[in-house]
Amino acid sequence: MGVFTYETETVSVVPPAKLYNTFVKQFDTIFPKANPSVKSVQVIEGTGGPGSIKKITSVGQGGNAIDVLHKVDEIDEANLRYNYSVVGGNKFPESLEKVCFETKVVGGCDGGSIVNFVIKYHTKGNSPPAEDLVKRGKMRGEQLFKVVADYIVASPDFNITSC
């Protein structure tokens, strides 16, 4: 098995603790509201903490259902880290074992946030993942946080008690 690592980051105007807490604690209810193509987020194994598996169901082009299995690897509230892996789904590439996303939210300009991503592709062989797959993976990781951040910004009365 090969492991291929890539890094990227995204910037948000939302303060770090609020972005992190919304993404981690409210993801299951906020993500379908923030992204209309997402129909549901269900915990299918565990209680939502590390080791849990979530099934994210969305509608793709042509109205086809797309299911993604998202495993929670680590929740580190003190350091604003959240690590998860995409471990399967009906469109998951046959060449991959899993794709791990290590995320850390840090302070950015003017009270906003910077979300750092380390993306690790675990391939079934020793060949690196296809370039278009890597681009889509980076985009999806960034997009997850962006849609949540955009939802927070668009809902000024949105409040999370942990901030």
For the segment 39-92, what is each residue's pLDDT rounded down to a tens digit? Answer: 999 999 999 999 999 999 999 888 889 999 999 999 999 999 999 999 999 989
96: confidence class by pLDDT, cuts 50, 70, 90: very high
Distances (CA, A) of 113 to 13, 126, 130, 131: 6, 36, 30, 28
Per-residue model confidence (pLDDT) at position 135: 86
Task: Note the pLDDT tens digit of each residue in 108-152.
Answer: 988 999 999 899 999 998 888 888 888 887 787 778 778 888 888
Domain coordinates in residue numbering, the chain: 2-36+74-154
CA–CA distance, 137 with 85 (Å, rounded to integer): 11
In this structure, whether the domain defined by 2-36+74-154 belongs to CATH 3.30.70.270 is answered with: no
CA neighbor of 50 nearest in space, from 68, 88, 77: 77
158: confidence class by pLDDT, cuts 50, 70, 90: low
Q: Which residues contact 102 (CB under 8 A, 6 or more apart)?
A: 81, 83, 117, 118, 119, 120
